[in-house]
Amino acid sequence: MVCACITGVSCICAYRRNILNLKQFKLSFSDNRGVAALEFAILLPVWLMIFFAVLDFSWYLTNLMVMENAVAAGARAGVKIRYWTDEPGETPGSIAVQAVKHSFWLSSSLKTQNIKVFIRDINNYPVDISNAEYKDYKYLEIRVVDYHYPMLAGYLSGALLPRSISAAAMMAFP
């Protein structure tokens, strides 16, 4: 659009040009292409943070529940042995340790030094296995102390989620 340099006419041409530019500007705001991609790009980090936090917490709870069940299974296996010999591997404590390690199916990184076994008498005092008879035993206590389970994502800090788990079980001999 060519405007003449006559006074007043050029002003009208400039006014029309501004109106046309304003219509194009309004059209660009009504165009919704790419809005979904922009929203996805903004919300993806938030969704991933929530997803990995839930993943870490559920992995912690899974390890904790399996550990508690493994310790209970170890205590059950230890008290089921009524009579044993002095051969290595035949004490209630050693059978319980083997049962705990076998029952903790999530990881093979559970070390024997993390598993503590206590045999107690009727007054709940520790009993020395080497110079006591079977009738002196009343309780078998198994504890797993400070087992550092492998993290999946490692997203949650130690303040929000413990890095190690512990479990204990005590059962009475028949």
Predicted confidence pLDDT, tens digits, the chain (174 residues):
455 555 554 555 555 555 556 556 555 566 678 888 999 999 999 999 999 999 999 999 999 999 999 999 999 988 887 555 556 557 788 888 889 999 998 888 888 888 988 888 888 777 766 555 656 678 888 999 999 988 888 878 878 889 899 999 999 887
Cα separation, 54 vs 72, whole angstroms = 27
Which residue type occupies 117? V
For residue 72, give every residue at least 6 positions away whose Cβ sits within 8 Å of its Cβ, in sequence order, or none: 169
Q: What is the pLDDT of residue 40?
A: 93
- Answer for the pair 122, 138: CB distance below 8 angstroms, yes or no: yes
Strand runs (DSSP E) across the chain, as ranges? 115-120, 139-148, 164-172
Domain definitions of the chain by residue range: 38-172
Cα separation, 89 vs 94, whole angstroms = 5
Which residue type occupies 136? D
- Scan for tokens 């479990």, then name that residue: 167
Q: What is the pLDDT of residue 45?
A: 95
